[in-house]
Amino acid sequence: MENQKNKFQLKEGVSYINCAYMSPLLISSEKEGIKGMERKRNPFEIKQEDFFIEAEKVKENYAKIINSDSNSITICPSVSYGFATALNNISPNNKKKAIVIENEFPSGYFSAKNWCDKNECKLLTINFKDSDNKIEIINQDIINQIDEKTAFVLISSVHWANGAKFDLEKIGQKCKKSGCFLLVDGTQSIGALEMDVQKLQIDFMVGACYKWLFGPYSTAISYYSPSFFNGKPLEESWMNRTNAKDFSKLTEYDNNYTIDAGRFNVGEANDFIKMPMLNNALTQILEWKVDAIQSYCHKLMSPLTEFLLENEVHIANEKFQAQHIIGFKLPNKTDFNQLSMDLQQNQIFVSYRSGFLRVSPNVYNDSQDIIKLIEVLNKNL
């Protein structure tokens, strides 16, 4: 894959290596957003079917990205909304605990904690910090803790602060064996790293769209496995009823929800501005291919990985390290304020999260961005 900077409008001279924070918008998505706004100048041109069509396209494209089918996919505004919906449909059934990772992103952590408090279950937090970041051991710790008393494991696809990969395949196998749900926050992977809900035996997965999916803010997408299909949504949108497409009959109240996961869509899911923007972005990702994006990031990040290893800065071994997010702990001797100033002066944008300096490139970055970063790190490590 070639560099794709010409499809974006990032400021010249800036090295924005921070997609885990927020992606820039594709020029083509920006145009779709403007078209969406312009449409409302003449609302009589907006037809009944337009209330559904773009969201349906989004679901179809997203389903291809995660190897699912579009009836299992729903639109919601955030990861917290998705987890609230899924957890609302999990009953304790004599289970006694749930599992999360230390430093899980707060939207997931608090959703799990709230469920445990309500259902008098223990929230077991797997140690992440003190294991010196050895992801192989952490993966095994998670697997060892899953048993028939476990209601669910709530976990991110890769650790959001350092890109360490959780072994979701083995975790999924153990969950199935023990009769517990696997709930995944895919925000930091979907679009940049293969996420196959069938292969990983995921029961529920939600992802915010404004990072690796190049979507607008306040849009997230959830996948529900069939075990949720008879569940209860958080709210009762008219759009989720089987008669919704016939506006003349809406008050012939229809007790049936649209097929499969259809009941879980947030009200007004088919945002006339955001859905065309998101659909455009998903189409572009499918054209690029997720594997090619991951390989592109791998190639970009290789010199940084080499540099870090030469300087004895720990990162996970390649099998357990995503290449689109690499976070590392700074040596004690590093002056963080000086490093921040140097990054700022050189217009390099990365993040500092939970003790890790997080570098997260995407297809608009080139080798110069990484060289610039290495030069600054070389001065400061």
Ligand X SMILES: Cc1ncc(COP(=O)(O)O)c(C=O)c1O
Using rule CB under 6 A, residue 78 touches ligand X: yes
Q: b/e map of 253-264 (b: 16 or more CB within 10 Å)? A: ebeebbebbbbb
Q: Does 370 bind ligand X (CB under 6 A)?
A: no
Q: What's 127's DSSP letter?
A: -
Ramachandran region of residue 261, left (φ > 0), alpha (ψ -120 to 50) or beta? alpha
**Residue 369 contacts ligand X per CB under 6 A:** no
Residue 162 sits in the site that holds ligand X (CB under 6 A) = no
d(CA 49, CA 243): 12
Dist. CA 63–CA 75, nearest whole Å: 12
Using alpha carbons, select from 195, 202, 218 the residue that is nearest to residue 81: 218
Q: With binding defined as CB under 6 A, does residue 85 bind ligand X? A: no
Within 221-280, the residues that bind ligand X by CB under 6 A are none
With contact defined as beta carbons under 8 Å apart, do 323 and 330 qualify? no
CA atoms of 95 and 117, how far apart (whole Å): 13
Q: Is 219 in the site for ligand X (CB under 6 A)?
A: no
CB of 160 to ligand X, least distance (A): 4
- Calpha distance 297→300 (Å, rounded): 5
- Pick the stretch among 43-51, 181-189, 221-229, 286-294 that binds ligand X (CB under 6 A): 181-189
Q: Which of 8, 16, 62, 105 binds ligand X (CB under 6 A)?
A: 105
Both tokens assigned to 25: 């918008």
Residue 89 or 188 with smaller CB distance to ligand X: 188
Supply the minimum distance, in Å, between the C-beta of residue 220 and ligand X: 5
Write the interaction track for ligand X spanning residues 37-76; mark x where CB under 6 A is met and - where it is not. Answer: ----------------------------------------
State yes or no: residue 80 binds ligand X (CB under 6 A). yes
Please spell the DSSP secondary structure of 100-122, one letter per residue: EETT--HHHHHHHHHHHHHHT-E
Give the residue with the Cβ less far from ligand X, 71 or 354.
354
212 binds ligand X (CB under 6 A): no
Residues binding ligand X (CB under 6 A) = 78-80, 105, 107, 156, 160, 185, 187-188, 208, 220
